[in-house]
């Protein structure tokens, strides 16, 4: 009695991610395959014939071709999936394309999308047939090209990815470095710009003909190895090596080239090469006095600490790390603070203090106002009182984020530069209304990271804008009328 194929069940689909490209499997016993858990019941593609399964997760956009090699007939169909842990065909989604029809056909192909998992179904009525699958560049590591080098500033501090697919790396754009040319070596790239003097090491947990080399670059936008220069230090040799180490210079951008003939874990320790934000400690809180609109771009929250942060009265931040800002209100008015993250990815909060000389969170008292939540959020505001000192702490699990604070309300300034221009309600939940004496030519809205999230040519003196799909947070709306432009802060709830 012939045995069933090992990949008869979808839960046992052969994982192509770590197999040779192209993949060839010979003399498959299709006749002993079963229909168990194969049925997909998908609109446009409902499987009803016993088959076998293969799977992979694409890292790039590429053409993938799968075929059955037989003198008879057969079916080949691609499906997408939520992950590589599918146990039933009902979890799959048919991937319609001109070359992936749901029906008979010995050869099918698709264009992959990065990050998407695919399952390949094959059926043939013959006793034995071969299967051929060519993933092409679909599973090339995402950082195969130098222009796609992984930015180590995004963390974690101990960067330790597992099962990195070095054998699928290419040499495209890799060689030509000054001082140490990797030439045709096929490797992957990592990069960072040092903000502190320190040592950084990079290495493999195992390797065959491994290479680890640090290079310096004029900036973080390199597109070719020819833009790089070998870092000439004793533990950064221009040869095969399982490990390399350098001492950094502040402000210098570095690229790390890593090559290996086998799949391997890597370890890169960035602990010493990134400085904590200047306002990491409460005693170094950024002073906002006299500022109307403060923007702090790309704060490196990855390196923030919790030293002396917690212990506040009324709402204790505990061990959560954060950065600090402070001001003393000259008059009563509203102050709004936001951070460019998702609403549940961090927090931003106001506290009051006796003066601007606080040395720990224990010196602060929570400002208990509804718009200043003691919990997760990306936006807070308070009605500040004249003569009172306030501290703002913000933190996030994101490696970097932009902090924006508007203090116009306590300076008595008026941001409205258009005659009779009005925008309401603010805060806004769904619809923002605009009206002006003159014709409003166009409206743009930007988030705290400077990304344009809305644009419309209005050519009317009144306009309603639907903001339902915007995340809660603070935004800048730029209005152009009769050749002039004015900016206003809005809060989306």
What is the phi-psi region of residue 361: left when phi exceeds 0, alpha when psi lies from -120 to 50, beta otherwise? alpha
Pairing of strands 52-57, 14-15: parallel
Name the residue with higher pLDDT: 20 or 256: 256
Q: What is the CA angle 106-109-111, rounded to 5?
A: 175
CA–CA distances in Å: residue 388 to residues 332, 333, 346? 9, 11, 26
Please tell me the least confidently modeled range out of 38-47, 130-139, 294-303.
38-47
Distance CA 199, CA 271 (A): 8
In this structure, what DSSP letter does residue 371 have?
Answer: T
- Tally Cβ neighbours within 10 Å of residue 231: 22
Is the separation of the CB atoms in 82 and 117 below 8 Å? yes
Mean pLDDT value across residues 369-377:
94
Q: Which fold has domain 422-492?
A: Immunoglobulin-like (2.60.40)
Mean pLDDT value across residues 15-38:
86
Give Cβ neighbours of residue 8 (< 8 Å, ≥ 6 apart).
Answer: 32, 33, 34, 36, 50, 52, 53
Q: Which fold has domain 146-269?
A: Jelly Rolls (2.60.120)
Query: What pLDDT band is residue 357 in, cutting at 50, 70 and 90?
Result: very high
Among 491, 147, 160, 150, which Cα is nearest to 343's? 491
What would the pLDDT profile of 462-489 be if each residue is shown by its tens digit?
889 998 888 877 788 888 887 777 878 8
- Tally Cβ neighbours within 10 Å of residue 251: 8
Helix, strand or coil, per DSSP, at residue 361: helix
Mean pLDDT value across residues 97-123:
93
Task: Compute the mean pLDDT over every residue in the chain, rounded to the nearest whole number.
Answer: 91
Name the residue with higher pLDDT: 452 or 397: 397
**pLDDT value for 18:** 74
Distance CA 229, CA 261 (A): 24
pTM across the whole model: 0.73
For the chain, percent helix, then strand, then coil, each to nearest 5? 5, 40, 50
**pLDDT value for 243:** 97
Is the separation of the CB atoms in 311 and 358 below 8 Å? no
Helix, strand or coil, per DSSP, at residue 437: strand
Is 133 a residue whose pLDDT tops 90?
yes
Is the separation of the CB atoms in 332 and 384 below 8 Å? yes
Number of H helices, E strands in the chain: 0, 32
Domains 146-269 and 422-492 share a fold: no
Q: Quick one: CA torsion of 438, 439, 440, 441, rounded to 10 degrees?
A: -140
Q: In what order do the strands lie in the sheet with 293-300?
A: 293-300, 400-406, 333-339, 379-384
Distance CA 452, CA 472 (A): 15
The CATH class that applies to domain 282-410 reads mainly beta
Overall size of the chain counted in residues: 493
- Tally Cβ neighbours within 10 Å of residue 417: 13
Mean pLDDT value across residues 355-384:
95
Mean pLDDT value across residues 395-424:
82
Among 396, 298, 300, 409, which Cα is nearest to 349's? 396
Distance CA 258, CA 213 (A): 7
Is 208 a residue whose pLDDT tops 70?
yes
Q: Quick one: CA torsion of 73, 79, 85, 91, rounded to 10 degrees?
A: -110
What would the pLDDT profile of 311-335 be if each residue is shown by its tens digit?
999 999 999 999 999 999 999 999 9
Is 209 a residue whose pLDDT tops 90?
yes
Tokens of 221: 């936008």
Among 126, 53, 42, which Cα is nearest to 90's? 42
Question: In the CATH scheme, what is the code of domain 10-134?
Answer: 2.60.120.380
Distance CA 322, CA 75 (A): 57
What would the pLDDT profile of 227-284 be if each residue is shown by its tens digit?
999 999 999 999 999 999 999 999 999 999 999 999 899 999 999 999 999 999 999 9
Is the separation of the CB atoms in 193 and 270 below 8 Å? no
Where in the chain are the domains? 10-134, 146-269, 282-410, 422-492
Mean pLDDT value across residues 160-179:
90
Helices (H), 183-286: none
**pLDDT value for 324:** 98
């Amino acid at each position: 009695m012939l045995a069933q194929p090992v990949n008869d069940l979808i839960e046992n689909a052969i994982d192509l991610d770590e197999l040779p490209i192209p993949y060839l499997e010979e003399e498959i016993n299709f006749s002993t395959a079963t229909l168990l858990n194969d049925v997909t019941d998908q609109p446009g593609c409902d499987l009803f014939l016993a088959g076998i399964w293969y799977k992979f997760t694409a890292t790039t956009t590429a053409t993938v071709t799968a075929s059955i090699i037989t003198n008879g007939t057969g079916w080949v169909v691609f499906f997408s999936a939520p992950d590589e842990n599918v146990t039933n065909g009902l979890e799959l989604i048919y991937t319609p394309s001109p070359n992936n029809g749901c029906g008979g056909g010995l050869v099918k192909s698709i264009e992959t999308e990065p990050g998407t998992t695919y399952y390949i179904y094959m059926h043939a009525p013959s006793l034995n047939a071969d299967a051929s699958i060519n993933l092409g560049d679909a599973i090339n590591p995402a950082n195969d090209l130098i222009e796609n080098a992984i930015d180590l500033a995004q963390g974690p501090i101990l960067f330790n990815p597992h099962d990195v697919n070095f054998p699928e790396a290419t040499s495209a754009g890799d060689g030509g470095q000054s001082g140490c040319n990797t030439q045709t070596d096929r490797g992957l790239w990592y990069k960072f710009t040092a903000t502190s003097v320190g040592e950084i090491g990079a290495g493999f947990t195992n390797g065959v003909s491994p290479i680890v080399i640090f290079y310096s670059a004029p900036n973080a936008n390199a597109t070719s190895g020819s833009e790089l220069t070998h870092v000439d230090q004793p533990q950064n040799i221009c040869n095969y090596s399982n490990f390399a180490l350098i001492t950094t210079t502040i402000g210098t951008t570095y690229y790390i080239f890593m090559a290996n003939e086998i799949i391997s874990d890597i370890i890169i320790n960035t602990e010493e090469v990134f400085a904590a934000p200047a306002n990491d400690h409460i005693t170094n809180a950024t002073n906002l006095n006299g500022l109307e609109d403060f923007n702090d771009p790309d704060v490196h929250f990855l390196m923030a600490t919790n030293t002396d942060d917690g212990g506040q009265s009324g709402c204790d931040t505990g061990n959560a790390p954060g950065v600090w800002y402070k001001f003393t209100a000259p008059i009563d008015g509203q102050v709004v603070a936001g951070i460019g993250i998702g609403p549940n990815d961090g927090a931003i909060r106001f506290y009051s203090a006796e003066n601007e000389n606080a040395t720990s969170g224990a010196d602060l008292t929570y400002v208990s106002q509804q718009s200043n939540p003691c919990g997760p959020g990306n936006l807070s505001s308070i009605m500040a009182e004249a003569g009172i000192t306030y501290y703002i702490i913000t933190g996030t699990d994101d490696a970097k984020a932009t902090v924006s604070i508007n203090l116009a309300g306590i300076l008595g300034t008026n941001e409205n530069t258009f005659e009779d221009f009005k925008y309401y309600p603010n805060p806004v939940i769904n619809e923002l209304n605009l009206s002006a004496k003159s014709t409003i030519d166009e409206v743009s809205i930007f988030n705290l990271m400077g990304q344009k999230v809305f644009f419309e040519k209005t050519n009317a003196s009144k306009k309603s804008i639907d903001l339902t799909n915007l995340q809660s947070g603070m935004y800048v709306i730029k209005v152009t009328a009769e050749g002039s432009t004015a900016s206003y802060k809005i809060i989306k709830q």
